[in-house]
């Protein structure tokens, strides 16, 4: 069944200039204590990434996408189980969340071809994924509302991170190499597409995930897995 909140998908059709110009107007302002908790949690995670990677945005993207691919799969699983328990329609949540996880996984595979992670970074990926999966699973069990707000803020941080990546490419600090074949195929990019085009396509994806998760957090049906 098609999700009735179709407005949350509108950003996927935005043109690249609109994305670059309007990114600051899409920040979700915390309105409750749980919103503030979600934002502080994400800022802590972002600070850790800043400390570890500084301006090594290729490596940063790999770890970021490893984490970003977790919420959709966790949410999809738990919403699937809820739908089975209650024998009711999921309003399109499950497919949306699993598709989000798959999209983030493709980001990981694409950026892995740009920046090859070291053995230390691969160990870090395992550690971060183990920690974040269990943390997010527990949060989602307690409150899907908070979990989706956390994901919304994670996506805001991802957008900021990729915009910094983009600015370094445009300023010449990072070489604007040719886009990988996987990226061209996945996003249907032109044959002469570059790294800049990959980053812009990634930003568009992350904007959709941000808006979807903030909307899911606002949706009263997502308040509890048990009610």
Q: Which is higher by pLDDT, 144 or 10? A: 144
Looking at residue 194, what DSSP letter applies?
A: B
Domain assignments of the chain as residue spans, ordered by start: 32-219
**Using CA atoms, how far apart are residues 103 and 68, in angstroms rounded to an integer?**
10
Span 14-50, pLDDT tens digits: 333 334 444 444 678 888 888 888 888 888 777 766 6
- 0.75 surpassed by pTM: yes
**Using CA atoms, how far apart are residues 22 and 62, in angstroms rounded to an integer?**
25
Beta bridge partners of 226: none
Answer CATH for 32-219 from 3.40.50.300, 1.10.8.60, 1.20.1260.140, 3.40.1390.30 = 1.20.1260.140
User: How far, in Å, are 83, 94, 122, 179 from residue 80 at the CA level?
Assistant: 5, 6, 31, 36
**Using CA atoms, how far apart are residues 222 and 218, in angstroms rounded to an integer?**
8
Taking residues 105-132, what's their average pLDDT? 84
Q: Do 204 and 19 touch, CB atoms closer than 8 A?
A: yes
Other Cβ atoms within 10 Å of 114 Cβ, number: 19
């Amino acid at each position: 069944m098609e999700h009735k909140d179709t407005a949350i998908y509108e950003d996927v059709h935005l043109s690249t200039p609109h994305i670059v110009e309007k990114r600051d107007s899409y920040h979700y302002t915390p309105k409750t204590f749980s919103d503030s908790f979600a934002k502080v949690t994400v800022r802590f995670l972002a600070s850790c990434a800043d400390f570890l990677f500084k301006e090594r945005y290729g490596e940063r993207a790999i770890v970021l996408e490893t984490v970003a691919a977790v919420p959709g799969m966790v949410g999809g699983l738990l919403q699937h189980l809820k739908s089975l328990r209650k024998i009711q329609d999921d309003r399109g949540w499950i497919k949306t969340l699993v598709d989000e996880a798959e999209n983030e996984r493709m980001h990981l595979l694409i950026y892995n071809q740009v920046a090859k992670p070291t053995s230390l970074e691969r160990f870090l990926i395992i550690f971060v994924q183990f920690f974040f999966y269990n943390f997010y699973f527990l949060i989602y069990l307690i409150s899907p509302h908070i979990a989706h707000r956390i994901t919304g803020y994670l996506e805001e941080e991802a957008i900021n991170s990729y915009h910094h990546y983009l600015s370094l490419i445009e300023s010449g600090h990072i070489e604007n190499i040719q886009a990988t074949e996987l990226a061209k195929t996945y996003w249907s990019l032109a044959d002469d597409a570059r790294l800049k085009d990959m980053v812009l396509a990634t930003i568009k994806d992350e904007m959709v995930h941000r808006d979807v998760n903030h909307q899911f957090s606002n949706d009263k049906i997502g308040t509890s897995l048990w009610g």
